[in-house]
Structure 1
Amino acid sequence: MKITALETFLVAPRWLFLRIATDEGITGWGEPVIEGRAETVRAAVHELADLLVGEDPLRIEHHWQVLTKSGFYRGGPVLSSAVAGIDQALWDIAGKTHDVPVHQLLGGAVRDRLRVYAWIGGDSPEHVAELAREQVEAGFTAVKMNGSAQLRPIDTLAQSRAVVDRVTAVREVLGDDRDVAIDFHGRMSTATAKRILPLLEPLHPLFVEEPVLPEHSRNLPQLVGVTSVPLALGERLYSRWDFHDVLASGIAVAQPDVSHAGGISEVRRIAALAEVHDVAMAPHCPLGPIALAASMQLGFAIPNFLIQEQSLGIHYNRGHDLLDYLLDPTPFHFTDGHAARPTGPGLGIQIDENAVRRADAIGHRWRNPVWRHSDGSFAEW
């Protein structure tokens, strides 16, 4: 079997899909994308195609090594995301070739069902509480929320109280038997995080995500030392080398993204490295159906899995959602906040190729917002 072609598709709301074809009629799908830089990653995929066309798609590890190391300049989010989508598609082909789900090729399932969480938006305590109640009624046992809007390097007591008030409102809805995770998107400085994290301890969050920017990861031991709140990080780290020092810092949860951090092959290695440090895995995935399917295959195969992000109904997806590009939505039917183990071959989903091609004919130019502080200076989004 030989690879014959790689096609990419810009798919609303902000995704990039990849289709790898073979001379035996077996095709694989991947999702190589950086949100807001889809066209850049698309170009990288097609540059890498020169190394793949005519090759055996089942030599997955060999291709990963060549794709990541044959260029003199290595690493970074663009290359790692391009490789990630290719890697997903090659695993999809392998599973379909052997007529088994990918997790079976990774050693078999280590669990029978996979816990997932739902995103909630909202600005006021009343609004976030209402949205949390909706997810409880939908059966979810965990939600994730934004911790704050923009924060100044050292902000006011009122801002700290606003963070606590919003989380308190959600905790009151969830009760003691459900979980809330809090995402700060790196909006806190180290100094602000030292103030706010201890205030969240009585609310018992599942984890606090990106309390500081990844470039300030050297400060994580300081934060671990001032709070019992589990800290999570990793959506903006792209390899096991990026994770090496972070895992040793005392974080509790690693969050590599299977569409950014080198694909199934590399995220599985990151999971093994995390296990050495007693760090759980909560893969990042506010993306499309292929990325989620790949993440779920990993979740069923790695022992230190905690919970899976998924983007059904997230605000980014207004007008277009994951199920719009699937022939069968069953793999993403969640019961009691859990996903059933997928049994279909490869990634376990059937892409509606006609819908993908129609979407690509329109395309998209999604960009993340650019935030400003009240004085006009740049603020972290």
Structure 2
Amino acid sequence: MKITKIETFICHAYRTNWVFVKVLTDMGIHGVGEATLEMRELTVVAAVNELNRYLVGKDPHDIEAFWHDNYRDSYWRGGVVLMSALAAVDMALWDIKGKDMGVPVYQLLGGKVREKVPCYANGWFAPAKTPAEFAAKAKEAVSKGFKGLKWDPFGSAYMNISRQEFSGAMECVEAVVATVGSEVEIMIEGHGRFNIPTAIRIGRALEKFDITWFEEPIPPDNMEGLAEVRRQIKVPIAAGERLYTRWDFRNFLKLECADFIQPDVSHAGGISEIRKIAAMAECYHIPLCPHNPSGPVANAATLHIAASTPNFYLLETMMSDVPYRNDISTESICLDEGLMSINNKPGLGIDINEEVIKQYPYQPRNLRHYNGQLTDIRPENASDYFIK
């Protein structure tokens, strides 16, 4: 079997654009992957297309050789663009291998260590602005079976936080916790927005809420700073969505930066690299909680990782999405009481619908985090995309 072509597809998805990749072979078997890279979709498509000349004519089963050789030959190693491009093709190659052998990808990774994947909800809060609105949205999310909720209550604050912003954020957390009770896990998102003293101040204030973690309290560039924040506060830290290689995570783990690691399968080199990162974290007894806010193919790939990785703990899940999510792919997600079922079909168990994707062409989107539009993450007609 030989690779004949790589194709890319961009699908507008309101807050971002999904980037899908399709690897074709001369045996009629194809694989799909996802390289969704928010605000840099056109750039990552160009990077994927450049891989064509390295892959055409090669055996798609040689996944390790593909990954190693293309990482080596990039010369300018690492970075989110290269790693996202490699990630998408890596997923597609695992998909081809599974289809050719007639087994789900998780079987190729060693088989299941769990039957269902525990999830927490993101995006449940849209378009809440006040503590009361967040509380009402939280109640709705819990009624759908979610056992964990994550959100960023800090508005447009950046580096420092005013007294008014600080009070508003704590009131928001208090309102949600009071509404959902002690049985629901609470994750507070920082989006890497604060400097060290502000992150410490907020982390100490969050202690009374018994949260599961405080995520990305400072920008991802300063691992030593993150480790210092972790030493200074008592709430657990989660981070790692903006690290892209096992070499990044080696230092991250050695410095004891976090209690939970959050690599993203679409950005950190795909299934192959995430598995290696997870194994490193297992040596430090650190749980894997993948960053997973993207499209259906990335979700499918992450489920196979979760199914087969011993130190996996929780999966990020978007509570709702654009109403056409189920039309642009064959995704069929069963979510029951916060547990997501694992697809047992060969390969990743998902395919894309190219004709429907064409109906939702690329639209440029800018970052919302610091302009007061943080909760504008879902359209008014957003809908559930999973079945119960």
Alignment of 1:164-175 (within 5 A): 164-175=170-181
- Separation (CA, whole Å) in 1 of partners of 2:302 and 2:33: 11
Q: Which residue of 1 aligns with 2:7?
A: 7
Instruction: Name the SS of the counterpart of 2:106 in structure 1.
Output: helix
Partner in structure 1 of residue 235 of structure 2:
229
Alignment partner of 2:327: what SS? helix
* Alpha-carbon displacement from aligned partner over 1:136-160 (angstroms, at most 9, x marks no partner): 1111111111131222433333322
Equivalent in the alignment of 2:261: 254
How far 1:169 moved relative to its partner?
Answer: 1.2
Cα distance in 2 between the residues matched to 1:341 and 1:75? 31
Q: Secondary structure at the match of 2:174?
A: helix
Which one-letter code corresponds to 2:295 in the other structure? Answer: G
- Which secondary structure state, in structure 2, belongs to the residue aligned with residue 95 of structure 1? helix
Are the counterparts in 2 of residues 84 and 258 from structure 1 also a CA contact under 8 Å? yes
Return the alpha-carbon distance in structure 2 between the equivalents of residues 336 and 372 of structure 1.
35
Unaligned runs of 5+ in 1: 374-381
* 1:144 has 2:154 as partner: no
- Superposed, which structure 2 residues align to 1:88-107 within 5 Å? 88-107=91-110
CA distance in 2, matches of 1:184, 1:337: 23
The structural deviation recorded for 1:370 is 7.3
* Distance in 2 between residues matched to 1:185 and 1:370, nearest whole Å: 8
Match of residue 16, structure 1, among 19, 34, 37: 19
SS of the counterpart of 1:294?
Answer: helix
SS at match of 1:256: coil
Measured in 1, the distance between the counterparts of 2:210 and 2:324 equals 34
User: Residue 367 of structure 1 corresponds to which residue in structure 2?
Assistant: 366
Asked if the contact 1:283–1:308 (Cα under 8 Å) also holds between the matched residues in 2, the reply is: yes
**Secondary structure of the residue that 2:313 maps to in structure 1?**
coil
Q: Are residue 67 (structure 1) and residue 70 (structure 2) matched?
A: yes
Output the amino acid matched with 1:342.
Answer: N
Q: Whole-Å Cα distance in 2 between the matches of residues 161 and 274 of structure 1?
A: 36
| Pairs within 5 Å for 1:320-359 | 320-321=324-325, 323-327=326-330, 329-330=331-332, 332-359=333-360
**TM-fit CA distance, 1:161:** 2.2
Q: CA deviation at 1:256?
A: 0.5
Is this contact kept in 2: 1:150–1:187, CA < 8 A?
no
* Conserved 8 A contact 1:10-1:364: no
Question: Residue 157 and residue 74 in structure 1: after superposition, are their counterparts in 2 closer, same or farther (change >3 A)?
Answer: same
AA in 2 matched with 1:210: E
Q: For residue 291 of structure 2, what is the amino acid of its counterpart?
A: H
Distance 1:310 1:370 in 2: 19
Stretches of structure 2 lacking an aligned partner (at least 5 in a row)? 373-388
CA distance in 1 between counterparts of 2:280 and 2:233 reads 24
Once the two structures are overlaid, the 10-residue window that deviates more, 10-19 or 161-170, is 161-170
Q: Distance in 2 between matches of 1:370 and 1:286?
A: 15
Aligned to 1:195: 201
Q: 1:298 aligns with which of 302, 305, 308?
A: 305
CA offset at residue 366 of structure 1?
2.7
Q: CA deviation at 1:320?
A: 4.3
- CA offsets 1:326-364 (integer angstroms, 9 cap, x no match): 23x43x1200001112211111223333323444xx333
SS in 2 for 1:363: coil
Paired with 1:289 and 1:370, the residues of 2 have a C-alpha distance of 23
In structure 1, what is the equivalent of residue 385 of structure 2? none
Query: 1:265 aligns to what?
Result: 272
Distance 2:18 2:187 in 1: 25
User: Aligned pairs, how many?
Assistant: 366
Contact 1:258 1:283 survives alignment (8 Å): yes
Q: What is the rounded CA distance, in whole Å, between the counterparts of 1:52 and 1:247 in structure 2?
A: 33
Deviations, residues 296-335 of structure 1 (Å, cap 9, x unaligned): 110011111111112241xxx44543x23223x43x1200
Could you say which residue in structure 1 is the equivalent of 2:28?
25
The Cα of 1:30 is off from its aligned counterpart by 0.4
Task: Give the counterpart of 2:159 among 153, 156, 160.
Answer: 153
Q: Between Structure 1 and Structure 2, which shows a larger proportion of helix residues?
A: 1
- The yes-or-no answer on 1:215 pairing with 2:216 is no
Q: Distance in 2 between matches of 1:259 and 1:39?
A: 15
Quote the residue 1:376 is aligned against. none
Are 1:279 and 2:286 counterparts? yes
1:249-277 per-residue CA deviation (whole Å, 9 max, x = no partner) reads 33111010000000000011110111112
Give the superposition deviation at 1:365: 2.2
* TM-score normalised by length of structure 2: 0.90
**Per the alignment, do residues 8 and 228 of structure 1 end up closer, same or farther by CA in structure 2, a change over 3 Å counting?**
same
CA-based RMSD: 1.7
Separation in structure 2 between the aligned mates of residue 370 and residue 337 of structure 1, nearest angstrom: 27
Residue in 1 aligned with 2:382? Answer: none
Spell out structure 1 runs of 4+ moving beyond 6 A.
Answer: none
TM-score, structure 1 length as denominator? 0.92
Identity %: 38
Amino acid of the structure 2 residue aligned with 1:345: P
CA contact (8 A) 1:145 1:183 kept: yes
Q: Distance in 2 between matches of 1:312 and 1:41?
A: 26
2:157 touches 2:370 (CA, 8 Å); kept in 1?
Answer: no
The Cα of 1:132 is off from its aligned counterpart by 0.7
**Partners in 1 of 2:219 and 2:318 — Cα distance?**
22
Write the deviation string for residues 5-52 of structure 1: whole angstroms up to 9, x where unpaired. 111001111111011111111110000131111110000111111100
CA distance in 2, matches of 1:277, 1:123: 39
